Amino acid sequence: MKIQVLLFGIARDIVGSSQLSLSHDGALDVKTFKQILKDKYPKMSHLSYFKVAVNQEFAKDDRVLNEGDEIALIPPVSGGSF
């Protein structure tokens, strides 16, 4: 299975690109997907957190990703400066 991932903010800076292609054998849930990213990009583990959005909605850890889903990494949003 092959998925495309959209990257924003610091996640884009860490990966060095605004999109990422990922191949995986068999079913892939959000939890595993996040672990793969952390393994591949250790700096991801240093973030306060990051979430995964599937088709423009936040997805839980057990959500299974499918080819054709719009998948995005959501690093921490803008925070408390006002």
Partner 1 sequence: MSDLIHITNDILEVEKIVSLVSHPELGGISVFIGAVRNRTQGKNVVRLEYEAYEPMAVAEMTRICNRLKEQWSDARVAIHHRVGILTVGEAAVVIAVATPHRDHAFAACKFAIDTLKETVPIWKKEVFEDGEVWVAAHP
- Residues in contact with partner 1 by CB under 8 A are 6, 8-10, 13, 46-48, 53, 56-58, 72, 74-82
| DSSP letter string, 15-51 | HTSSEEEEE-SS-EEHHHHHHHHHHH-GGGGGSS--E
Q: Which is nearer to partner 1, 13 or 39 (CB)?
A: 13
Minimal distance, residue 37 CB to partner 1, in Å: 15
Minimal distance, residue 25 CB to partner 1, in Å: 28
SS3 of 4, please?
A: strand
Query: CA-CA distance, 59 to 76, in Å (whole number)?
Result: 15
Q: Which is nearer to partner 1, 23 or 78 (CB)?
A: 78
Minimal distance, residue 75 CB to partner 1, in Å: 6
Please provide residue 23's backbone torsions phi and psi, each rounded to the nearest 5 degrees. Answer: -105, 145
Q: Which is nearer to partner 1, 7 or 28 (CB)?
A: 7
